[in-house]
Structure 1
Amino acid sequence: MQFTGNLNHHLEKSNLKTLPQVFKKLIKVGTRYILFPALLVIIWFLFHNFFIIKEGINNGTSPAEVGVIFGSKNQENGSLSASLLERLNIGLNLYRKKQIEKIIVTGGMANKGLCEADLMRKYLSDHGVPLKDIITDDKALNTQENVENSLEIIKKHKFKSVAIVSEYYHIARIKLMFNKHNYDFNNIETVSSYGNPLKKYHLDVYLREFLAYYYYLLFK
């Protein structure tokens, strides 16, 4: 009985020594394989956001043969959203200043079966842009299709310089897509609607752009 009691006492003492060691190992493993990689991803995410803002607000000033205005979801009642109006007004201003000669509007079906590109064309036409200077892509349903369809138009018309008009956080991914197609541009300018990025910081938007950028870079 005394031997059994000593054995139990010994096991209890060994367990007390072993448990802290197990916890220490778990902490080391967690730090090495979970916490440290997570910290790296967060740092990478922050640096990428800095890159997105830098690319987005670094607006070009050189004239281009064509401006490409990227569509944005219209409102439920079918009217143009505030962000799309801002893009259209930027394109309109470039056209009036003769910094672009033609305008491509790209965007397919949106709310209530309305086509973004048709709404954009009407807005530009109502504000003085001749229909002959507006080229419509009404098929694109996402950014990749916006770029690919616009490139087909650009090739068809043999444009060599382009001004991209979109939201500032969108610019980096659009440029990646244009450059990945290796079209022989003389010049690609970007003109963004951004205001103050610090006031328009939406985590969901930056997260979406972060994931979409690297998905396209790695898998497309």
Structure 2
Amino acid sequence: MPTIKRFVLAGLMLLSSWFVLHSAVVTIDGFTDDVQPVDCLVVLGNTVNSDGSLSARLQARLDKSLELYQQGVSPLILVSGGLGKEGHYEGTAMQRYLVAQGVPVQAILVDNKGDNTQATARNYAHIARQRHLRSALVVSQFFHLSRTKLLLRKQSVPVVHAAHATYYEWRDAYALFREFFAYYAYLLG
């Protein structure tokens, strides 16, 4: 019996260490912006409030993409999200916000079927093949970037970079915890 207890304890310690190391790598990767000229910025959606306004988290993502667009990092911005439970298509709301900030409508690609990260990666890869785009720069929260880059690479997008939105809240700790499981689910899936 003591041998089983030691084995279980060692397994839990190993899993805990793996989790801490993975979370540290994801955090460092997420805070290390890799801004390079690309064919398209890929902005992942988030909550659009019931009144049609953007959540602070989503607005931060769009503000970062706007900053990069204005710096000339990319001539195109893909805004991707699904139909939220609040009744708004995230991609359309994101497009509306960017147009109000001066981005020409023809510079914005709208993906209203990107209701999760995997769908966004798949949809961007499809658009990229149609338009002969070879690179992307992902914009999202820091904890989300490693997994998104993984998914885009799995969809054969040859060059993927990332930059994080500067918005933080307590729920990021939960999101970082969740990313551990999501990352490996997509890596192995």
TMscore range, shorter length = over 0.9
Measured on the aligned residues, the alpha-carbon RMSD in Å equals: 1.7
Contact kept in structure 2, 1:57 and 1:194, CA below 8 Å: no
Normalised by the length of structure 1, the TM-score is: 0.80
- Is 1:217 the counterpart of 2:187? The answer is yes
Contact kept in structure 1, 2:143 and 2:172, CA below 8 Å: no
Contact kept in structure 2, 1:68 and 1:162, CA below 8 Å: yes
Larger proportion of helix: 1
Matched residue, 1:20: none
Letter in 2 for 1:30: K
The 2-side partners of 1:195 and 1:126 are apart by 21
- Is 1:96 the counterpart of 2:99? The answer is no
Q: Pick from 29, 41, 52 the counterpart of residue 26 of structure 2.
A: 52
Give aligned-pair identity as a percent. Answer: 30
Moved over 4 A (4+): none
Normalised by the length of structure 2, the TM-score is: 0.93
Contact kept in structure 2, 1:71 and 1:107, CA below 8 Å: yes
Q: Structure 1 unaligned runs (5+)?
A: 1-25
The 1-side partners of 2:35 and 2:115 are apart by 29
Question: Aligned-pair distance for 1:201?
Answer: 7.0
1:161-209 CA distance string (max 9 Å, x none) = 21111111000001111112223x2x3221111467xx75744212210
**Higher alpha-carbon Rg:** 1
Matched residue, 2:161: 189
Q: Secondary structure at the match of 2:57?
A: helix
Q: Pick from 171, 176, 184 the counterpart of residue 206 of structure 1.
A: 176
The 2-side partners of 1:200 and 1:48 are apart by 19
Cα separation, partners in 2 of 1:117 and 1:195, compared to 1, 3 Å:
closer
Structure with larger RCO (C-alpha < 8 A, sep 6+): 2
Matched residue, 1:27: 2
Matched residue, 2:43: 69
1:129-164 CA distance string (max 9 Å, x none) = 111111100112111001111111111111122111
Letter in 2 for 1:189: H
Matched residue, 2:83: 109
